[in-house]
Structure 1
Amino acid sequence: MAWNEAENARQRARREERIRKAAEEEQRQKLQAAESKARQAAASLREKESAVLRLQEEAKSFLTPQNLEARIEECLDNPRNYNFAVDKEGRVVRRTVLP
């Protein structure tokens, strides 16, 4: 009977140790998942902030009703001719003349 009680106590101690280790591992995994989620959220926030800044920089050159007349005048004053070709050696060949 004493041997049986000792064996039960030993098995109980092993079971409690196994349960404690499992709880610690679960806690560690939860902490690691939370840290990973926080890093991903921070990276996503930085990416979105850079996208907003890039869009704000691009918005400076957008056509608006306020700057439409000025942009039309600028285009009429500085015409561009995109009618050209590039030969096999990489030289630009322009054979057209602006009107």
Structure 2
Amino acid sequence: MALNEAENARQRARREERLRKEEEEHRRQKLQAAENNSRKREAFLKEKEKEVLQLQEEAKTFITPENLEARIEECLDNPQNYNFAIDKEGRIVKRTQLS
């Protein structure tokens, strides 16, 4: 009977040690997942902040009712001609001949 109790005590100690290690590993994995989520969130926020700053920079060139007249005058003063062709060598041909 004493042998049986000794074996039970040994098995209980092994089981408790195994459960303690599993709990420690689970806690470590949880902490690692929280750190990863935190890093991902920081990277996401930095990316979105960068996008917002870029959009704010682009918004400076938007046409608004306040600057509409000035932009129209600017376009009339500096006309752009987008009627051109590009040959096979990559040169821009401004005037094409009609056949």
- Post-superposition offset of 1:60: 0.4
Greater than 4 Å deviation, 4+ residue runs: none
1:34-83 deviation per Cα after TM superposition (whole angstroms, max 9, x unaligned): 00100010001001100000000000000000000000000000001010
Q: How does 1:1-99 map to 2 (within 5 A)?
A: 1-95=1-95
Flag structure 2 segments of 5+ consecutive residues without an equivalent.
Answer: none
- Cα distance in structure 2, aligned partners of 1:89 and 1:33: 55
TM-score, with length taken from structure 2 = 0.94
Flag structure 1 segments of 5+ consecutive residues without an equivalent.
Answer: none
Question: Which AA in structure 2 matches 1:77?
Answer: D
Give the number of aligned pairs. Answer: 96
TM-score, with length taken from structure 1 = 0.94
SS at match of 1:65: coil
